[in-house]
Amino acid sequence: MIASLSGQLQLKNPSVLVLDVGGVGYEVHISLRTFDVLPEVGEACFLLIQTVVREDAILLYGFHQPEEKELFLLLVAVSGIGPKLAQTILSGIGVAALCQAIRQKDIAQLTSISGVGKKTAQRLCVELAEKVGSFEADQEVAGAGSAPVTVTEADVLADAASALVNLGYPQSMAWQALRAVEKGLGKDAASVRVEELIRLALQSLATRS
């Protein structure tokens, strides 16, 4: 089983990348969270890997941070959640915010994530509430002094992404635009209203078309 890969980044997009390791190109599926922190094409890249073996394929899922991989493993253990949906969930909400939403049984927050219906959200809460509680505690110790993503901030981003998807933009494109806006705003991003995020994201999308 492949546990990690280190090589040269050959290609990247919001859902998949190709990593050249000793002349062999590995296709790796990633979340938008990992995509956000990737180096430029041609530069060195290291990823933690989870290997998923199916009857018709061997798929690699990559993670920049160990906590994202740990949460991915918790998600795929839930009935009805496969690797693809787990990555979609991780793309739609930060690790800290997802753990808090599950622990607090915030169904509305969870169902705002693309692909997560009410029944899936309920299963997440029932099966993972205790597990993410201990996971959160570990994260607080490991991440002491860092600035976590708050549920409020995640709510605003999720609402903005939902609005963009309703306007016809693919989810990956919507989140990519929102991440670009978020980076541009810096610390001010947490205080920006949904309407303003949507407006700025639409401007970003317009410049790409």
Which pLDDT tens digit goes with each residue over 70-125?
999 999 999 889 999 999 899 878 788 888 889 989 998 888 887 899 999 999 99
Tokens of 84: 């693809």
CA 167 to chain centre: 21
Using DSSP's 3-state secondary structure scheme, residue 119 falls into helix
Q: How far is CA 131 from CA 35, 75, 151, 177, in A?
A: 26, 11, 19, 32
Which pLDDT tens digit goes with each residue over 138-172?
554 444 444 444 444 556 776 777 788 778 887 77
Domains and CATH numbers, the chain: 4-63 (2.40.50.140), 66-142 (1.10.150.20), 151-203 (no CATH)
- The whole-angstrom separation of Cα 149 and Cα 89 is 15
